[in-house]
Structure 1
Amino acid sequence: MSDQISLTGLRVRGFHGVFDHERADGQDFVVDVVLETDTTAAARSDDLTDTIDYGDLAERLAEVVAGPPVNLLEALAARLADACLTDARVAAATVTIHKPQAPIQRTFTDVSVTIRRSRRTSWEGPQ
């Protein structure tokens, strides 16, 4: 599939991490997603109902990040990918979750995990 819809830089406060202070204080996470989907119907109809509503997508992803905590970015990325795949029109989703305030004692710009999930590789992680 060659069509893609991207949402980048979605910043949401979450309480993920392995340390108590991360769970107590929270921090900002930044989400980037690329959805693989067929946009032919939307291009022909010019109707929002024929495509992925990126406003709705942003809300679904924000709910995941602000929702129940996980220890690892890998688990959070998998939850986000599963949220993307709830729309049957999404063939695959590439998710990058950034943790720019990760508890690292050295100067750094960003820490991130990127995963790609398709309908055949969707994973149900910790609940």
Structure 2
Amino acid sequence: MTSATTHDEIALTGLTVFGNHGVYDSERREGQNFIVDLTMYVDTRAAAASDDVRDTVHYGEIAQRVADIVAGEPVNLLEALAERIAVSLLTIERIGRVRVTLHKPNAPIALSFDDVSVSIERAKP
């Protein structure tokens, strides 16, 4: 778990996963790409000392876990999907806090825009 005296971060950005989330039936039927950015707050001192992946979080495994959530059971809101991801990641012993940003660049908005995103940050009690 993250120590109060460390501010170590492991980031995974731009994870693109196809999902069927959204308020509208067409979003659930047709689906679209969602982009996930994560910052995991992890005390990396043990991994730095041992040079062993078992002493940190394996970002390949994290990526797959998050991809499975995004590709899984649909939700209406990005907020709900971000919460699912955060809750799942906080079950990993070494992660003390996580920041999740979900991008929906193809959101059904009838105006020109670059991106829609929701960011949340959650920590273990």
One-letter amino acid of the structure 2 residue matched with residue 21 of structure 1: S
Q: Give secondary structure in 1 for the equivalent of 2:10.
A: strand
1:10 shift after superposition? 0.1
2:11 aligned partner: 6
2:121 aligned partner: 116
CA distance in 1, matches of 2:43, 2:65: 20
1:64 shift after superposition? 0.3
Q: Deviations over 1:55-83 (max 9, x none)?
A: 00000000000000000000000001112
Q: Tell me the C-alpha RMSD between the 2 structures.
A: 0.6
Q: Deviations over 1:26-47 (max 9, x none)?
A: 0000000000110000000000
1:37 aligns to 2:48 (yes or no): no
Q: Give secondary structure in 1 for the equivalent of 2:64.
A: helix
User: Out of 48, 53, 60, which is 1:55 matched to?
Assistant: 60
State the percentage of identical aligned residues: 55
Unaligned runs of 5+ in 1: 121-127
User: Out of 92, 117, 121, which is 1:87 matched to?
Assistant: 92
1:68 aligns to 2:108 (yes or no): no
CA distance in 1, matches of 2:67, 2:57: 16
CA distance in 1, matches of 2:101, 2:86: 9
Q: Give secondary structure in 1 for the equivalent of 2:110.
A: coil
User: Out of 33, 42, 47, which is 1:28 matched to?
Assistant: 33
Q: Give secondary structure in 2 for the equivalent of 1:107.
A: coil
What is the total number of aligned residue pairs between the two structures? Answer: 120
Q: Give secondary structure in 1 for the equivalent of 2:97.
A: strand
